[in-house]
Chain A
Amino acid sequence: MSNFSSVYWTQFIAIALIGLGMVGFLIRRNAIVVLMSIELMLNGVNLLLIEAAHRSGSADGTMLVVFIITIAAGEVAVGLGILLNLYRIKHSSDTELYKELQG
């Protein structure tokens, strides 16, 4: 398991996940899917960190991932709370309609 020949594969997957998440939050109209895409990006970052920890043998990467997961959880809670409030006013989760700041 540790004599893994190419480090590039992991990084490639991680960066691909980041890219996918980026595309996701730019093109989807449903606000919840936007938040999901952000989670996807965070996971890509996690993968990068774990891979770095694995390669260098130090535990720093692992600890950072713990923190990231914690923060992600809190952030999702608050984000979804805001979304629910928005839904109550707008009665829709379409980001096209959240245009109060226009002009």
Chain B
Amino acid sequence: MTDGIFIAIGIFTLLCGSSVILCKSPVYSAFSLILSFFGLAGLYILLESPFIAVIQVLVYTGAIVVLFVYVVMLMNPNSSGAYRNWIFMIVSAFLAWAVSLYLLKALTLGVAPAVGGAHALSLKEVATLLFTKYLWPFEILSIFLVVMIVAVFALAKQSKETPNE
């Protein structure tokens, strides 16, 4: 039964992903992105990571995609078509297919058998891990976020100094 749900949600996610890259209007692409994030969240729950599922919805759909939609609304749509020329399409399709196949082979090479003991991480466990095993990345990530904020400020400031028109 769960297999079926898994497959259904998986196919749904894939369809939404295709829609992201295929829709002509960027707003539609943004919507499809939201839907695929939801699908992924469902998949995470089925893989016994509810914590990540929630974070996914909160951060990705709640912040990132919102940002995307804001910017989409600030820009004009393209007047001259959504896709590049056909050479690009064929070449990129081939390349993506090839890379994907290699990845698949690479990943299936070293598959370990399923070990038991997987359990859903509680918040407490996550926090403990953050402050013990993953302290270094945690701190560096905070510095990184500060840098990002400064960068965004700098970018916003520059746009004020460049003359309009």
Contact = CB atoms under 8 A, between A and B. Distances in A.
Interface of A: 1-2, 4-5, 7-13, 15-24, 26-30, 32-33, 35-37, 39-40, 43, 46-48, 50-51, 53-57, 59, 62-63, 65-67, 69-78, 80-85, 87-89, 91-94, 96
Contact of A20 (B14, B63, B119): B14
Interface of B: 2-3, 6-7, 10, 13-14, 17-18, 20-21, 26, 29-30, 33, 36-37, 40, 43-44, 46-49, 51-52, 55-56, 59-60, 63-64, 67-68, 71-72, 74-78, 80-84, 88-89, 92-93, 95-97, 99-100, 103-104, 107-108, 111-112, 114-119, 121, 125-126, 129-130, 133-134, 137, 141, 144-145, 148, 151-152, 155-156, 158-159, 162, 164
Nearest to A37: B21
> Interface centre among B17, B83, B117, by most A CB within 10 Å?
B17
A17 B134 contact: no
Contacts, number: 239
A43 B36 contact: yes
B52 A9 contact: no
6 contacts: A11-B108, A46-B40, A55-B115, A65-B52, A66-B126, A73-B60
Closest 3 CB pairs of A and B: A24-B21, A81-B155, A26-B92
B40 A92 contact: no
Contacts of B40: 43, 46-47
A22 B144 contact: no
A38 to B, nearest CB: 11
B120 to A, nearest CB: 10
A66 B159 contact: no
Contacts of B21: 20-21, 23-24, 27-28, 33, 37, 40
